[in-house]
Amino acid sequence: MAYTILIVDDSKLARMSVAKVLGTLHPDWKRVEAANAAEALSQTRELSPEVVLVDFNMPGKDGVTLAAELRALDPRISVAVISANRQTEVIKRAEAAGATFLPKPVTASALADFLASIPGQRTADSR
Amino acid sequence: MTLVPTLTELELDAMTELVNLGVSNAATSLSELVREEVILSVPKANVVTREQAIANLREHGAKRLVAIHQDFDGDIRGRALLIFPEARSMELIRALVGAELSPDDIIELEQEALAETGNILLNGCLSTIANSLERNLKISLPEVIHGEGTDFFYPNSDAHETVLFIYINFTVKQRDIQGFLAMILDLPSLVMLQKLLDAYIERSTGESRASDHAG
């Protein structure tokens, strides 16, 4: 099944870069982008993505806070928080929010591992 | 007024992202040093003249400053600076070495603690930039100077040098410490940086940006 995946990062370059890696892993998945938390929340309400990749260090709401809100909105969403800031505190907070922590820059193998770990197919009525 | 060559929006985005990566890596090392979380703001980057860089520092209300600088040399050459308001530098040192030290000890350790912090942050940034741009940079040892903006941005004045000015806020152990990162680049280095950023953008996104440089 082709999933919808939302990429949230204030940097356009970072979004393009993640999109490129995703394109090689799952060219059939629908990729959507958001530049901030507000956009991410409205895109999520509208498109119900199965997977959301969130940058940690963003103006306004940080990635972990957003991850928690996304999970509250729909607990079935698999969320990964991406950051070069690998401090224990950040990783712990990401995990507490129910997200997976991925070090930045995201490699194809790290992303493939995360995507392989997400729960399998959803039933048709969940869309 | 000197005409400053500007970077395109995407080039500036790429540069900000590289600094973000570098500083985030450095914050991880720094937090291990102070055994506390180091909270970073999103860096804001801009290419400005030396005069504007000095004005930027004034705008943020800091007069007496302390700067740690390191020179770099390679395909791009210049000077990277980490600048704090002097009043907050003691806070940073206390966060690093602990509050239990006597004022005399702190003064004695000040230069060393500042140099070490600067070294972690500046090296983190410069090495991330160098690796991402696939270039090798030779980085000098850190030096600490106290003074005002003019002391940092007019060392041996060349009107054509530009400053890549990055504003960042970081909090260590609940002590709010604002810092500025700046890179002084001469014109050929800025042109080279632009080329390397374009190649980096192309590698990262698989898209050529050469057409963005009309005019």
- Whether residue A22 has pLDDT greater than 80: yes
Domain boundaries defined on chain A: 4-118
Whats the size of chain B, residue-wise?
215
- Residues of chain A contacting B, Cβ within 8 Å: 10-14, 16-17, 19-20, 23, 57-59, 83-90, 104-105
- Whether residue B154 has pLDDT greater than 90: no
Q: Say what the pLDDT of residue B158 is.
A: 60
Per-residue tokens: A120:
């399998």
Question: What is the C-alpha separation between A127 and B11, in angstroms, rounded?
Answer: 38
Q: How far is CA B131 from CA B2, B18, B177, in A?
A: 31, 10, 28
C-alpha closest to that of B50 among B161, B137, B135:
B161
Average pLDDT, chain A: 91
**DSSP code for B40:** E
Q: Say what the pLDDT of residue B159 is.
A: 59
Question: What is the C-alpha separation between B162 and A41, in angstroms, rounded?
Answer: 40
- Whether residue A58 has pLDDT greater than 70: yes
- Whether residue B210 has pLDDT greater than 70: no
Q: Say what the pLDDT of residue A108 is.
A: 92
Q: Write down all domains in chain B, each with its CATH number in brackets.
A: 9-209 (3.40.1550.10)
C-alpha closest to that of B184 among B86, B48, B84:
B48
Question: What is the C-alpha separation between A100 and A82, in angstroms, rounded?
Answer: 9
Residue B96, min C-alpha distance to chain A (Å): 16
With CA atoms as reference, the chain B residue closest to A86 would be B28
Encode pLDDT of B163-196 as tens digits: 888 877 777 767 777 788 899 888 889 999 999 9
Nearest to B204 among A16, A23, A86 (CB): A16
Kindly list the residues from chain A whose CB atom is less than 8 angstroms away from the CB atom of residue B27: 85, 87
Q: Where are the beta strands (DSSP E) in chain B?
A: 38-40, 44-49, 65-74, 78-85, 137-139, 143-147, 162-172, 175-185
- Whether residue A7 has pLDDT greater than 60: yes
Q: Say what the pLDDT of residue B211 is.
A: 46
Per-residue tokens: B93:
């040192």
The larger pLDDT score, comparing residue A107 to residue A124, is at: A107
Q: What is the pTM of this model?
A: 0.81
Nearest to A59 among B21, B42, B207 (CB): B42
Residue pairs between chains A and B whose CB atoms are closer than 8 Å: 60
Distance from CA of residue B68 to its chain's centroid? 10
With CA atoms as reference, the chain B residue closest to A24 would be B206
Kindly list the residues from chain B whose CB atom is less than 8 angstroms away from the CB atom of residue A90: 37
- Whether residue B215 has pLDDT greater than 60: no
Encode pLDDT of B55-86 as tens digits: 888 887 777 899 999 999 999 999 999 998 88
Nearest to B13 among A13, A90, A105 (CB): A13
Encode pLDDT of B99-151 as tens digits: 677 777 777 777 887 888 888 889 989 999 999 999 999 999 899 999 988 88
Q: Say what the pLDDT of residue B70 is.
A: 94
With CA atoms as reference, the chain B residue closest to A20 would be B205
- Whether residue A106 has pLDDT greater than 70: yes
Q: Do B204 and A17 touch (CB under 8 A)?
A: yes
Q: Do A11 and B20 touch (CB under 8 A)?
A: yes
Question: What is the C-alpha separation between B19 and B96, in angstroms, rounded?
Answer: 23
Q: Return left, alpha or beta for A123; rule: phi > 0 is left, psi -120 to 50 is alpha, else beta.
A: beta
Q: Do A20 and B24 touch (CB under 8 A)?
A: no
Per-residue tokens: B117:
């912090």
- Whether residue A95 has pLDDT greater than 90: yes
Nearest to B17 among A11, A23, A88 (CB): A11
- Contact status of B25 with chain A (Cβ, < 8 Å): yes
- Whether residue A3 has pLDDT greater than 90: yes
From the candidate CATH numbers 3.30.565.10, 3.40.50.2300, 3.30.70.1290, 2.60.40.2310, the one assigned to the domain spanning A4-118: 3.40.50.2300
Dihedral sign for Cα atoms in the order B183, B134, B29, A109: positive
Q: How many Cβ atoms sit within 10 Å of the Cβ of residue B116?
A: 18
Average pLDDT over residues A20-46: 95
Nearest to B21 among A10, A23, A105 (CB): A105
> Nearest-5° angle of CA B190, CA B124, CA B68?
75
Kindly list the residues from chain B whose CB atom is less than 8 angstroms away from the CB atom of residue A17: 204-205
Average pLDDT over residues B208-214: 51
C-alpha closest to that of B36 among B124, B99, B110, B109:
B99
Q: Do A13 and B28 touch (CB under 8 A)?
A: no
Over pLDDT 70: what percentage of chain A? 94
Q: Say what the pLDDT of residue B171 is.
A: 75
- Contact status of B172 with chain A (Cβ, < 8 Å): no
